[in-house]
Amino acid sequence: MLHTCRTELDMLNPDVPCAEGGKPDGFDTFLSHHLRKDIPNETEKNEWQKFINKIHTWDRQEQSFFPFLAYNSVIAVCSSGGKIYGGNNLCISKKRFSFFYVKVNDKKQVKE
């Protein structure tokens, strides 16, 4: 399985995928939404319910989060560890790593 991340970073240099461009805080914004120290490290639905409550993101029906242990792998996607994929600031990792994919419903519940 290939894991991709969409960033708000522009390609400035072909040999530096996802280098910062017109939105200097784009990379930091991406990290603050998807790679946080307080992300649950398990698939327990109740823990994710608490977490989504805490960060108030019920308006996003599909969400992705990386375990903080994957920090170096995620950072690498937007440097030498990644490559451009399909344009529009999309990069893909050169190696596999895990992430959590969470779906929520309009009743403010994490789906099974």
- Coil/strand/helix, residue 105: coil
Residues 57-105 pLDDT 10s: 999 999 999 989 888 888 888 777 777 777 666 778 888 888 888 999 9
The percentage of the chain sitting over the pLDDT mark of 90, rounded to a whole number, equals 26
pTM of the model: 0.72
Q: Which helix (H) or strand (E) holds 55?
A: helix 45-55
Contact predicate 88/9, CB 8 Å: no
Domain assignments of the chain as residue spans, ordered by start: 4-103
